[in-house]
Amino acid sequence: MSSPQRTSHLALPRTGIRSVPAHLILVTASAVMIAFSFAPWGLSWLAYIALWPAGLLAARADSTARLTWTSFVVFWVAWLIMIAWVAPVTQGGYVVLAALMAFYWALALAVAHLLHKRYRTAMTILLPLAWVASEYVRGRFLAGGFGWFSFGHSQAAFSPDQSAGRIIQSADLFGELGVSFIVVMTSGLLVDLMTHPLMRPVGQARHRMNRTIRGALVLWLGILSASWFYGGYRINQYQQATRPGPRIAVIQTNVSQNNKVHSTPDQDALDWRRMIELTHQAANTSPTPDIIVWPETMVPRAINPKALAFYRDVDSYYAGSEIYHQLIRETAQAVGTNLIVGSPAYEAFVQETFSDGGVGPVPKPRYNSAFLYYADGEQSPKRYDKIHRVPFGEFIPWVGAIPPIKSLFLKWFTPYTRDYSLAQGESLTVFDIPVQPPAANQDSQDSQDSQDAPPETSAPSIIRAVTPICYEDAVGRVIRKLVYQPNGTKRADILINLTNSAWYPGHYQQTQQLQIATIRCIENRVPMARSVNGGISGFVDSLGQISHAVEVGGRTQWVDGFSVASPRLDTRLTLYGYLGDTPAACLTALTAILLLLGKISPRKAGH
C-alpha cells in the first residue's frame, strides 16, 4: 500500500482571500514595514520583506476591486504620515499628493494580482515587475512625477556613520529602479514559498522540488549574489579609480523660510551678515578652499546682468538691489576663492496691479539660479537655471491658461497668495572652475579613505561642476543629463547641490532627501557637495558614503556653520550614465504588454 502523498505545509489553500479586515491587516503590515525601511529610521533590511504581506494578498485576493480600494485606503494613510512635512507648506497639495502616491502603490498590487491570475508564474518575477513599473510611472507623471520612497532608496545611506552598501552599488548599472527590482524580489519569493507546495510527487514515495519554487530560488539567488559580488568589486575599485579633487567649503545657513517669504531690509541684512561671516571663517581654514558654496536663493535679489541694469534705472522697490552683486564681488576678492551662490535671476519686468491697488514692476520670467564668481570677483558669463521645478511650489501645472481655475489652485495648493511661478531652465550648464593642486602635506581628514590611497601629486587645474538646485538631486534623469553626454561620456566631475530645506519643518524631509541624493552619486559615479539652508549639508562620495556633515552641538539640522573637505573625483563611467532609465522603461512596457495580452487572451478555467 503506497504512502499518502505529502505537500509542504507552507502552501496556502488556493481559495481567494475575501475578508475586508484581512485585506486591511495585510496591507497595513506592509505599509508599516515600508515606512520603517526609509530615513529617518533606516531599517533597510525591512525593505526586502516589506511587500510580503501585500504581495500575498495580491496573489490570493478574490476580487481585484476589493484589493485595489483597500490597498488605496491604507496606503493613503501611510503616505499622509510619511510626507507629513508637506502639510505646513500646502495642506491641499499634501492631501492630493498622498492620494496620488497611494493610487500608484495600490495599482501596482492590482497589476501584480492580474498578472498572477493570468499567467500563474512566480511572484518573484511578477511582484518586482509590477512595482518597478509603478515606480517608473509615478516618478514621471503627473506634473513631472514624485519619486520619493522608491524601494531602491532604502538601501542608501543618510548619515555619516553608515558605510557603503553592496547592493546599492548596482545603481550604476540600472539606476535606483534596478535596485528596487532586486529588493522587491525577496518579498515575491516569500509569497511563492507560501502559495506553492515546496515539493511535488513524481512517483511512489518520490518527490521533487516544485518547478516554480525551483526557478524562483535560482533567479533570486543568482541576481542577489551577482549584485552582492558586483557591489564588492565596485567598492574595491574606489581608490585606484579616483583622484584628488578640489578643496570645497559648504556653508549651511539657518534662515527661517518666513524671513524669505516676508522679508524685511533689516532681517535681510542680519541674515546676510551671518552668511558672510561664515564664508570668511571657511576661507580662513588651511589650506584655503578652492570653492565656497552658498545655499539655494540665499542672495535676496537677482544678480544677473539684465536685472542689474534694471535696478540702476528705476526708483522703486528694487532700487539699490545691485548692492548684492557688488558685495559678492568684494567677498570673493577678500577671501581669494571661487564662490558658487544661489540667487533668483530676472530676465524682464512687467507692470502689474497689486491687491492693494498699487501698480509696480514684477519680474517675469524669473528663474531659480546658481552663479559662479571667480576669486577675482568677476561673475561667470554662465549661470545655471533650475530645470526641474516643484509643482505648485514653483509652477502651476495644467491650468496656467485658465485664470479662474488657476486662482483656485493658488488658493488651495500653493504656499503663495499670488502667482510666483518660475520659468524652466533650458541649459545643462557646466561651470569650469580653476583650482589649485592640493598641497603635498594636505591634512588626511580632507580626503576620504586617504590612509589607503595611492600617492598623489596633483589635481586637475579645471574642475567641471554642475549645480542641481533643491529637489533636483532627487530626480535621477535630471542629474544623469547634467553629468553625462548622450554618448555616455562624462561632462562633469562633481555635483554641487544648492538647497533650501527651511520650507519643511521637523527632521524627516531633510534625511529623506539626503538618502535619495546619495544614489545620484552612485548612479553616475561622481561625488557631491551639498550646501543646504537648514541642513543637512556635507559631502557624499561616489560610493554613496556621507562625510563632513555640518554639525553644531551634535546637531546637523536647524543650525548654521560650515564644513570643508576634498571629495575624490571618480574616473569611472557607468552603464546607467549611458542607458539612463531605458531598462526600467522596457520593464514598464513589458508589464503593459502582458496586461494587454492577458485581456485579449484570458486564461481558461481550469488552467
Q: What is the Cα–Cα distance from 164 to 231, expressed in whole angstroms? A: 9
Question: Average pLDDT, stretch 576-594?
Answer: 96
Burial class (CB in 10 A: 0-12, 13-18, 19+), 417: exposed
Mean pLDDT for the chain?
88
Which pLDDT belongs to residue 116? Answer: 95
Percent of the chain with pLDDT over 90: 70
Evaluate if residue 465 carries a pLDDT over 60: yes
Which pLDDT belongs to residue 3? Answer: 44
Cα four-point dihedral sign 502, 507, 511, 512: negative
Question: Average pLDDT, stretch 416-425?
Answer: 75
Question: Average pLDDT, stretch 142-168?
Answer: 93
Which pLDDT belongs to residue 398? Answer: 64
Q: Greater confidence, 395 or 72?
A: 72
pLDDT bucket at 259, cuts 50 / 70 / 90? low
User: Can you give the three-state secondary structure of 510-533, one letter per residue?
Assistant: HHHHHHHHHHHHHHHCCCEEEEEE
pLDDT bucket at 453, cuts 50 / 70 / 90? very low
pLDDT bucket at 264, cuts 50 / 70 / 90? confident
Q: Greater confidence, 309 or 516?
A: 516
Which pLDDT belongs to residue 9? Answer: 42
Which pLDDT belongs to residue 348? Answer: 87
Evaluate if residue 8 carries a pLDDT over 60: no
Which pLDDT belongs to residue 4? Answer: 45
Evaluate if residue 18 carries a pLDDT over 60: yes
Which pLDDT belongs to residue 450? Answer: 40
Q: Are 545 and 501 in contact (CB under 8 A)?
A: no
Question: Average pLDDT, stretch 155-182?
Answer: 96
Q: Strands 338-346 and 366-373: what pairing?
A: antiparallel
Evaluate if residue 357 carries a pLDDT over 70: no
* Tens digits of residue pLDDT in 317-350: 677 788 999 999 999 999 999 999 999 999 988 8
pLDDT bucket at 220, cuts 50 / 70 / 90? very high
Burial class (CB in 10 A: 0-12, 13-18, 19+), 288: middle
Closest CA to 39 of 155, 212, 146, 160: 155
Evaluate if residue 440 carries a pLDDT over 70: no
Which pLDDT belongs to residue 170? Answer: 97
Q: Does domain 242-389+424-568 have CATH number 3.10.290.10?
A: no
Evaluate if residue 479 carries a pLDDT over 80: yes
- What residue spans define the domains of the chain? 20-241+582-600, 242-389+424-568
User: Can you give the three-state secondary structure of 218-251, one letter per residue?
Assistant: HHHHHHHHHHHHHHHHHHHHHHHHEECCCCEEEE
pLDDT bucket at 392, cuts 50 / 70 / 90? low
Which pLDDT belongs to residue 341? Answer: 98
pLDDT bucket at 446, cuts 50 / 70 / 90? very low
* Tens digits of residue pLDDT in 285-312: 999 999 999 999 999 999 999 999 888 8
pLDDT bucket at 143, cuts 50 / 70 / 90? confident
Beta bridge pairs of residue 344: 368
List the Cα angle 494/301/316 in 5-degree steps.
Answer: 165
Beta bridge pairs of residue 384: 370
